[in-house]
Amino acid sequence: MKLNVNDFFSNTERAITTELRTPQDNFPEHSHDFQELIIVSQGSGTHVINDIPDSLEQNHVCFISPQDRHLFENVDNLYLSNILFRKDALSLPAGLNDYLPQGYSDHKGWHISNQAMQKVSHLIQTLDTEVHQPQRDSEWMAQALFQQLIVELHRGKLAPLEHASMDDKTLQVLDWIKANYHQEFTIGEVADQFQLSSRTLSRKIKQITHQSFNNYLHQVRINQAMQLLQYSDLSVTDIAFKVGYSDSNYFSTKFKKLMNKSPSEFR
Ligand code: RM4
Ligand code: NI
């Protein structure tokens, strides 16, 4: 499925428009002939970009380029804002170009702090009003707001631990898990590292991701495994080890439970 500029932009002179999803429903795989900036404000779900799944939760930000395909599944009260834009039609100060994905983006996405999210939500609301006004003035206002938005998203990246709130620390833990899933660790060890108690961390993870710490970790590992099953020639056993399981039978059981398919069937 391909979504086109004409279906979303009121006319071809507009560079930016918004589609607020409260909630975002499951949505099948598609691409667009415009760029998309996605900002999640609450809930959870799986976002599959170019066949690679990633879990979504509040304060997650990422860009989708016209080369990409993506879909949403397993959504649970997922609220997000789509900022649709045509890069070529934007008049951006040269330096700001670096804040937009260059060519093929890496899709990693990032989390912003709760404090940044408040400013961002406000900008999105104002932007949403401007982009739906017909006047030329509104186009310039929309472009100015878009510039503020991308700077805010950039500098809103999670702050160092000492200054972080409990919510922000939890998001940092989720990012840490996504980077260290191949290691062995307990919730206690992770909680210590982020100066939280195990109880608080477990409660916060549940609140933000709608999953337990263990299930979240399994999900991250299985997501990575899906990537390796599709894009590498490694054996299922090697993949199990690579994503953090010391027992490949256990890996296959978990995989089947989450995906309703064995790793080799999926491959
Ligand atoms: C859909 C979904 C898609 C987006 C369109 C505009 O609900 O969020 O990703 O491209 O809206
Ligand atoms: Ni899309």
CATH of the domain at 22: 2.60.120.280
Asked if 167 and 248 sit in the same domain, the reply is yes
Asked if 177 and 53 sit in the same domain, the reply is no
Asked if 238 and 149 sit in the same domain, the reply is no
pLDDT value for 216: 96
Cis-peptide into 23, omega within 30 deg: yes
* DSSP conformational letter for 260: S
Between CA 70 and CA 49 the distance in angstroms is: 4
Mutate to test the pocket of ligand 1, among 4, 7, 27, 63 (most ligand atoms within 8 A of CB): 27
pLDDT value for 107: 64
Calculate the average pLDDT of the chain.
93
pLDDT value for 86: 96
Give pLDDT tens digits for 6-36.
999 988 889 999 999 999 999 999 999 999 9
Which of 155, 182, 215 terminates a domain? The answer is: 155
Question: Which of 64, 26, 73, 30 has its CA nearest to residue 223?
Answer: 73
Query: How sure is the predictor about 266, in pLDDT bands with cuts at 50, 70 and 90?
Result: very high
Q: What is the pTM of this model?
A: 0.82
H/E stretch holding 255: helix 248-259
Measured in Å, residue 153 CA sits from the centre of ligand 2 at 19
Between CA 257 and CA 175 the distance in angstroms is: 24
Q: Is the CB of 194 under 6 A from ligand 1?
A: no
Spatial CB neighbours of 129, under 8 Å, sequence gap ≥ 6: none
Return the SS3 of 40.
strand
What ligand is nearest to the CA atom of residue 27? 1
pLDDT value for 106: 58
Q: What is the mean pLDDT of residues 110-136?
A: 95
Please give the tally of structural domains in the chain.
2
Measured in Å, residue 50 CA sits from the centre of ligand 1 at 15
Ordered alpha helix ranges (H), 14-113: none
Domain with 67 in it:
2-155
Asked if 149 and 249 sit in the same domain, the reply is no
What ligand is nearest to the CA atom of residue 66? 2
